[in-house]
Structure 1
C-alpha cells in the first residue's frame, strides 16, 4: 500500500461589514461632483471650458501599462480583470466613492482602490467566495487571495473593494493585475459559519481544502460544538451532491465508510457514539478516486452536508472530481483528539494545515 501524506486547511469566512449610509449637505454636492472620477466640468468661472479628470481616470492598466481615457467605472477594469459567475472587475475608483464600501486600499493616503461587483441572479440571498489571482507587471501570477461576500440579496448587485492583500508587492494600484480565478456561491441560509461565529444550533460544520495523491482524493469534514451544551451523535454525516446550478447530482453511489475506496484506509470498525462537550470537535471525511475510464467524468462543485438526519444543512464547496468511478466514501464521525484548541483541525497558533486526514497529524 502506498502511503499518502495529507495537509489540512482550516477555512474561515470573513463577513464584510454592512455598507454605511451617510447624508451629504447640499453645500458639498457640487464639490463632490467636481471631484468625481472622470467627471466633466462646464468650464471655469473665468469662462474657460474643458474637462477635469479625476485621479483614477486612465490608471486602470493591463500588464502595468496605463489605459488611456475612459472612466474605470465604465468598464475598463471589467475588460482587464474579466467577469465570471456574477462577479465583475470594475476597475479603479476614487477612495471618496469607496469609503462606504467594505474593504479598503493599501493606505488611507492612496487616492484609488480596486473595486469589483457581485450580482446575484438567484431568487434568494447567496454568499459568494471569490478567488483572485494577482499578477506582476509582465502578467505573471504572483499570488492568490480570497474574499467572501455574504448574503447578497436576490436580484441585487453589491460593490466591494479588495482588501490590502489584493494589491501587488510594489504597491501599484492596478486593476489590470487582478484576475478572477473562481467563484463559489451557496445559499446564504446554508453557508458555513465563519470563524468566531456560532450558528443557533450550537454546531459549526466546515470542510477543509483536502489533499490529493496517486489519484486518491480526501476532504475532511469538521463539526465543532460552539454552543453551551453537550452534543451526542453516532454514525455518518448525511451528504447530497449538488451541481453548479445547485441541482442534485444523480448516478453517484454514496458509500458508508471508505473501505471500498482503494488506498483510502480502513474505517477502524463500526461507528461509535461521540459526545462533544462545548469546545470539542468531531471529524469525518469524504474519499474518492479520480479515475477516468469509459464514460463521462463527473465533477461536483458542492456538497450539502447534515451532521445527522434532521440537522440543518450546510453547503460546502470541495469540488469533487469523481472521474468515472461513480462512488464517494463517507467516513463515520470520530472525536477529534488532535486539535489542541478544540477547533476544526487548526493548530493552536491558527496556522492551517497542521492536521492530516480525519484529524490525524500530517506526515507531509
Structure 2
C-alpha cells in the first residue's frame, strides 16, 4: 500500500520544492495548450492500491507551469467505507519527482469509485519541466477512525491530528495535537495511547513504546512529567512521537499506521505518519502538555 523507501526523507526533500497541498475530489479539468488545443493524454497503467491515473494534462507552451494536472480515480474494492490519502509525484523526464501533492479522497463506499483532479501547483524558478505524474503512495483509513477534517468537530468534541513530522540527522519527531472543539471543558492527563499497525492495519509486535524519549535523543520538553490539563473550548494540547531510522542488523521496520487514543477509553483515531523505525525497535511518546510548550526536532541533540 506504499512505496518501499521511507516516506519522511522523501517528503522533506519534496517540501523544499513546494508546500504540500490537499484537495477534495472534483470534476476533471482539462488544460488548454497553445492554439486552444487540449494537451490531455490518456493513461492506461495499472492501479496502485485502488488509485489509478486516467489522464495527464501538460500545457505544451510551458510544461513547468502550474497548469500541469492529472485526472485520477479511486476504487474501493474492500468491504468497508474508507478515506484515502494519496501522494502524487509530478516527475521530470528522468523519473525523479519535481514536486508532489497530497490529496484526501473520501469517504469512498465499498465497491464505489470516486474521480477527481490533482494539480502540480506553482513550481519554483529553475525547476525541471514536468513530463509525467505517478501515484507515489496510498493509505486508506476506515471512516470511523479517520481524523476529522479541518473545521469539523467529531461527536466526542475532541479532534486529534498529526503533523507531517520533522527530521534532523536521522532523528524523527511527529507532533500530535488534541483540540477541544466541543462546548465544554475537557480534562487531559498522561500519555497518548498508541498502537502500531502494519499495511493491513494489523498490530505490529517487537517495537517498544516508551514513555518519554527513553534515551532516543534529548528534545526540550519531551521528558516532562504528565500534568493535568483543563482545556477550554478551542484550546489545545500536544504530544509527540520520537524515533530514529537507524538500520543495523535485522529487518528494517516501517509502520504506516498508528492508532491513537487521546485518553483511556477515548475513540481511536488512525493516523498515517509512516514511522521508518529502521532496526531500532523503539518509539518514544511524550505526555500531553499545553500546545505552546510542544517542541519539534529542531535543536535536538544526541543522547
Range into which the TM-score falls when normalised by the shorter chain: 0.7 to 0.9
> Equivalent residue of 1:312, what SS?
coil
Which residue of 77, 80, 100 maps to 1:124?
A: 80
The separation in 1 between residues aligned to 2:69 and 2:249, in whole angstroms, is: 50
CA RMSD of aligned residues (A): 3.3
The separation in 2 between residues aligned to 1:300 and 1:176, in whole angstroms, is: 32
| Paired position in structure 1 for 2:289 | 334
Is residue 291 from structure 1 mapped to residue 291 from structure 2 by the alignment?
no
| Paired position in structure 2 for 1:148 | 104
Which residue of 96, 99, 115 maps to 1:159?
A: 115
Is residue 251 from structure 1 mapped to residue 170 from structure 2 by the alignment?
no
Is residue 311 from structure 1 mapped to residue 250 from structure 2 by the alignment?
no
| Structure 1 residue 127: Cα displacement | 0.8
| Structure 1 residue 232: Cα displacement | 0.4
Would you say the 8 A contact 1:127–1:151 is kept in 2? Answer: yes
| Paired position in structure 2 for 1:87 | 51
| Paired position in structure 1 for 2:44 | 78
| Structure 1 residue 136: Cα displacement | 4.8
| Structure 1 residue 233: Cα displacement | 1.0
> Equivalent residue of 2:287, what SS?
strand
| Structure 1 residue 204: Cα displacement | 1.1
Give the TM-score of the pair, scaled to structure 2.
0.76
Q: Which runs of 5+ in 1 are unaligned?
A: 1-6, 20-54, 61-71, 94-105, 339-354
> Equivalent residue of 1:240, what SS?
strand
| Structure 1 residue 176: Cα displacement | 6.0
Q: Which runs of 5+ in 2 are unaligned?
A: 1-11, 28-36, 58-65
The separation in 1 between residues aligned to 2:245 and 2:279, in whole angstroms, is: 8
The separation in 1 between residues aligned to 2:122 and 2:209, in whole angstroms, is: 43
Would you say the 8 A contact 2:167–2:173 is kept in 1? Answer: yes
Task: Specify whether residues 161 and 335 from structure 1 end up closer, same or farther in structure 2 by C-alpha distance, changes over 3 A only.
Answer: same
Task: Specify whether residues 11 and 334 from structure 1 end up closer, same or farther in structure 2 by C-alpha distance, changes over 3 A only.
Answer: farther
The separation in 2 between residues aligned to 1:336 and 1:113, in whole angstroms, is: 37
Task: Specify whether residues 13 and 141 from structure 1 end up closer, same or farther in structure 2 by C-alpha distance, changes over 3 A only.
Answer: closer
Paired residues in the alignment total: 264
> Equivalent residue of 2:44, what SS?
helix
The separation in 1 between residues aligned to 2:71 and 2:204, in whole angstroms, is: 35
Moved more, 266-275 or 119-128: 266-275
Larger radius of gyration: 1
